[in-house]
């Protein structure tokens, strides 16, 4: 099978995209025919079937406007990434880091990040809502939303969520590996660092952003 699209097929595909974006519904066979000045509906039908075979779209037989684009259209703005808010961090409670993210539909909430102010890779990102003031020393307060990336190692200087086994808590601190020990430095410069044995800490993820809304 030839995978390349004929000029007419490209034209039709482009028109379907345009029309869908503008009207919120796909065009009919005849709307395509008129708009592109094609002589017969059967020609449109033929090329639509070709586009189906070439994997560009799906058709639902005997259903009006039964055209579905395979690439689900650029509905979300170009490069915004949706980050699921997977839960809540409360004071002292361990941060639950989801092993694998469930179906998109079960996320009640997402934050949609626009690269104009936060430039992030989309993979492995998740967000948590902060409850309480357990992380004031990281300049994070009640109601904030923290953006995290799932990872189990850290470079020096990165702010990470670390599980401290001996104290059975998770906190957000700047991470420094000093060989025999790790230094966990609060983001707030007026506060003192704490030191821990490397075997006593487990990195849960890296903090990549904080979002806080107070009023409107």
Catalytic site positions? 134, 173
Least spacing, CB of residue 180 vs DNA, in Å: 53
Least spacing, CB of residue 180 vs a copy of itself, in Å: 26
With CB under 7 A as the contact rule, the residue among 14, 21, 64, 71 that binds DNA is 64
Name which of a copy of itself, DNA, none residue 72 binds, using a CB cut-off of 5 to 8 Å depending on partner kind: a copy of itself
Please spell the DSSP secondary structure of 97-162, one letter per residue.
--SS---GGG-S-EEEE-TTT-----TTEEEEEE-SSTTGGGT--TT-EEEEEE-S---TT-EEEE
- Note whether 104 binds a copy of itself by CB under 8 A: no
With CB under 7 A as the contact rule, the residue among 29, 101, 118, 194 that binds DNA is 29
Buried b (16+ CB within 10 A) or exposed e, 146-184: bbbbbeeebeeebbbbbbbeeeeebbbbbbbeeeeebeb
Name which of a copy of itself, DNA, none residue 34 binds, using a CB cut-off of 5 to 8 Å depending on partner kind: none
Q: Which residues bind DNA (CB under 7 A)?
A: 2, 6, 8, 28-31, 38-43, 45-47, 50, 59, 61-66
């Amino acid at each position: 099978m030839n995978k390349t699209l004929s000029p007419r097929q490209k034209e039709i595909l482009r028109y379907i995209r345009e029309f869908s974006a503008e009207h919120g519904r796909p065009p009919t066979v005849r709307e395509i025919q008129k708009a592109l000045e094609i002589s017969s509906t059967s020609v449109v039908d033929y090329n639509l079937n070709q586009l189906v075979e070439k994997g560009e779209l799906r058709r639902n037989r005997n259903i009006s406007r039964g055209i579905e684009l395979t690439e689900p259209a650029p509905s979300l703005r170009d490069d915004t990434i949706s980050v699921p808010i997977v839960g809540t961090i409360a004071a002292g409670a361990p941060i639950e880091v989801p092993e694998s993210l469930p179906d998109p539909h079960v996320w009640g909430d997402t934050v949609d990040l626009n690269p104009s102010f936060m430039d992030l890779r989309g993979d492995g990102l998740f967000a948590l809502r902060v409850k309480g003031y357990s992380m004031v020393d990281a300049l994070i307060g009640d109601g904030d939303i923290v953006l995290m990336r799932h990872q189990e190692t850290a470079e020096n200087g990165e702010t990470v969520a670390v599980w401290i086994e001996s104290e059975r808590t998770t906190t957000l601190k700047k991470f420094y590996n000093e060989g025999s020990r790790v230094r966990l430095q609060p983001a707030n410069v007026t506060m003192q660092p704490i030191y821990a044995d490397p075997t006593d800490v487990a990195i849960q993820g890296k903090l990549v952003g904080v979002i806080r809304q107070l009023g409107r």
